[in-house]
Structure 1
Amino acid sequence: MSARVGGALGALYPFLDTQAADVGAVLADVARSTADKAREIVILRNSLVAEHGCQLVECARALAAAFQAGGRLFTFGNGGSSTDAQDLAQLFLHPPTTARPLPAISLTHDVAVLTALANDVGYQVVFARQIAAFGRAGDIAVGLSTSGGSSNVLCAFEEATRRGLMTVGLAGYDGGRMAESDVVDHLFVVPSSSVHRVQEAQTTVYHVLWELTQQALAGEL
C-alpha cells in the first residue's frame, strides 16, 4: 500500500514528499521525527535549569513581593505568544491546584480593544496603551516574543518602565532586541532557532516561575 503527500504538508514535514511512498516507511519516519523532537525539547528544557535557575528564583521573589504589596500581573504577546500570555494570566489568576489565586490580566484577550487601537492608532501601541491605562507603579508586565524583537512588546515594556512597573521578558534565539534593551528587569532567553521549541520551553519557564512565586508567597523560598 502506498500514499502520496505533498504541498503544505510536505513543506512542513520534508520526510513526506510528493513521491509515492510506502505507508509503513512513512509512519516509521513520523515516529522517528516525533522522537527526535521530544528529545530536542527535553534537552532544551534541561539546559534552562543551569541557564536560568538562579534568576528564576530571584524573579519569583520579586514577583511575590510585588503581589504582596498589591501589584497586578499584565501579560502580552503576538500570535502563539498571545495564547501563551493568556495561559500565563490564567495560571496566576485561576491556578489548577489549591494554590493562591493572584491578580492577572492578559492584554491580548479583548479583541475589541486590540482592533480599535490597531486601526485607530497603530499596532505598535496595542499593549502600551493598555499598560498606560491600567498599569500603576508596583504592577508587573510580562511580555513574550519568540524572536525577542516584537516592536509592540518592547513598546509596552518602555511604557511599563516609565510607570514604575516591574518587567519580565521571555524570548528565543539570542534574545533579540529584548536582550539589548534596558527596560527589561528580568529576561529569560530560550537559546533555540526553532519557534516550536522556543514556545514549548517558554511554557516550562513560566510554569516554573509560577510555582516558585507560590513558594515565595508561602515563605518557602
Structure 2
Amino acid sequence: MLTWLQRDSLEFPPLNKALSEPNGLLAAGGDLRPERLIQAYRHGCFPWYQDGQPILWWSPDPRTVVLPENLHVSRSLTKLMRQGRYRVTFDQAFTDVIRACAAPRSYAEDTWITSPMQDAYIALHKRGLAHSVEVWRDSELVGGLYGLAMGQLFFGESMFSRADNASKVGFVTLVEHLKDWGFVLIDCQMQTEHLLSFGAQTISRPEFARYLSDHLDQPSRADWLA
C-alpha cells in the first residue's frame, strides 16, 4: 500500500516499503520545502513526478551509482578534454543550468523538472546544498548538470547538452573533483547506457542505505567556488 505523506510531518516510510511495480515508488504527497527534500535524500529517496500528478517519492532497487575510482573515460573524450574546447565552472549559473535541464527534449513532451521543482532546488542551492556544473564554449553555456552534495555523497539530478559531448565533459570534470575532495559515491538514480559508459554500476537498496549511514555525516573537502 502506498504511503501518503502528511504536510505536518517529515517522516518517510521505511525503504523496504517501496513498491516493486513501479520499481521504487515509496510515497506520495507532502511538499517540496527544503527540510523535506533534505530528509528525503538522507533517507534514500527523491522526488520525481509530472505536472498534474501528486509529488511522488522514489527509492529504486537496484540503484545506479558511480564510484569515483571506477570512472571510465573513453580515449576520444580524453582527447577532447585535452583540446580545451570547453571551460568548466562550478556554481556560477545554477539557475541557468536547472532551467536548461528543464527545457523540452526531442525525445519527451513533458519535463519532470516542474516549476515548483526548480524553485525547490534553487532554494537548496541558496543553502549551499545543491550545486551546478557549467560547461562553456567561450561565453556561451552549452552544457551542465546539477545535484546535491551531502557529506561524502553527491546526488546527481539532471544534465543537459547544447554542443557535442558538453555534458560528458562536465560530468567527468565533476567526478574527478569529487574524487579529489574525498567523495565516495555519485548517486545516478536510474540506469542508462550513457551512465554505464562512464563505469556506472548498480547496487542493492540495502547497500545504498549503508552508504548513506556511513558517509552522509562525514566531512568532505569540497570547495565549489575555487
Which of the two has greater helix per residue? Answer: 1
Kindly name which structure, 1 or 2, has the bigger radius of gyration based on alpha carbons. Answer: 1
With the length of structure 1 as denominator, give the TM-score of the two structures.
0.30
Which gives a bigger RCO, structure 1 or 2 (Cα 8 Å, sep 6+)? 2
